[in-house]
Amino acid sequence: MNHKTKAISFSLAMLMSAFAWNAQSYADEVTGVELPVMLAEVSPANIFNVNLKKPKSRNLPPAEDGIHDPENEATHSLQHPLDAYKGLPTSEYGNYVDWVKALDEGKLRPRWDRSDPNEEPFVLDLDIVRPVKASVPDVVFPHRQHTEWLYCSNCHPAIFIPQKNANQISMSAILLGEKCGVCHGKVSFPIETKTCRKCHSKPKPADWTPPLSEATLKNPWK
């Protein structure tokens, strides 16, 4: 830290404490002596879950979705997603459609070739288990569901070397849009609490305990 940044952070700290002081005295004033003290009351700046943006509704028609221009006449002739999804199995995330189930149940037959409707995909039924050091279940990567949609060269070798455990994968890489995150979180199902177990699907053995960190093992006061 140089002097300039020190000075800036000091003045920021002063400013913040001034705000806190202000808020405190303001709260005292409002409550006064005659009103009962209401512990649950918070200042408008401290509303619940300031960082959680919850979608108010799902599958809106194009003209109301915030990215299509309603002043463009053709926008109104685009299809409403809910019309297209009629009869498809649902899910709780992404498009709110279970795309894998829709294929498996034969509710959808998207083409594998641009013009030939009869060409069949080259499906590989091979599960790859990736043990995870953390307490979450191990990851099972299923080739079957992927090769129903994708070709080998969509992943090999640009995203993954085709060899078991030859690739370094971590959750932070995935969340930044690398490895599995190239597709998951963009087009395939998103990464959120409701989807953790779709990838983390192989339960840990009953006697599994989390490995202890070095600092705990070497702790001289233990």
- State the residues that interact with another protein by CB under 8 A: 29-30, 32, 34-35, 44, 51, 53, 55-60, 62, 64-69, 72-75, 77-79, 81, 84, 94-95, 97, 99, 108, 110-115, 121, 148-151, 153-154, 175-177, 181-187, 190-192
Which letter, b or e, does each residue of 10-26 get, where b requires 16 or more Cβ atoms within 10 Å of its Cβ? eeeeeeeeeeeeeeeee
Tokens of 12: 């920021």
Q: Which range binds ligand HEC by CB under 6 A, 14-22, 30-38, 148-156, 210-218?
A: 148-156
DSSP assignment of 150-199: --HHHHTTTT--SSTT-S---HHHHHTT-GGGGTBTTTBPP-SGGGHHHH
Q: State which of residues 137, 145, 202, 204 lies at the interface with ligand HEC (CB under 6 A).
A: 145
In this structure, which amino acid lies at residue 45?
Answer: A
Q: Pick between residue 12 and residue 84 the one whose CB is nearest to ligand HEC.
A: 84
Q: Does residue 130 belong to the site contacting ligand HEC (CB under 6 A)? A: yes
We find the least distance from the C-beta atom of residue 112 to ligand HEC, in angstroms, to be: 11
Q: Does residue 162 belong to the site contacting ligand HEC (CB under 6 A)? A: yes
**Which of another protein, ligand HEC, none has residue 41 at its interface (CB below 5 to 8 Å by kind)?**
none
Q: Does residue 179 belong to the site contacting ligand HEC (CB under 6 A)? A: yes
Which letter, b or e, does each residue of 71-91 get, where b requires 16 or more Cβ atoms within 10 Å of its Cβ? eeeeeeeeeebeeeeeebbeb
Which letter, b or e, does each residue of 133-152 get, where b requires 16 or more Cβ atoms within 10 Å of its Cβ? eeeebbbebbbebbbbbeee
Distance CA 178, CA 174 (A): 5
Long-range contacts of 83-87 (CB under 8 A, 24+ apart): 85/59
Residues 125 and 141 sit within 8 Å (Cβ to Cβ): no
Residues 97 and 85 sit within 8 Å (Cβ to Cβ): yes
**Which of ligand HEC, another protein, none has residue 27 at its interface (CB below 5 to 8 Å by kind)?**
none
Q: Does residue 88 belong to the site contacting ligand HEC (CB under 6 A)? A: no
The site map against ligand HEC for 102-121 (x = CB under 6 A) is: ------------x-------
Residues binding ligand HEC (CB under 6 A): 78-79, 99-100, 114, 122, 124, 128, 130, 132-134, 136, 139, 141-143, 145-147, 149-150, 152, 154-156, 159-160, 162-167, 169-172, 174, 177, 179-180, 182-184, 186-189, 191-193, 195-196, 198-200
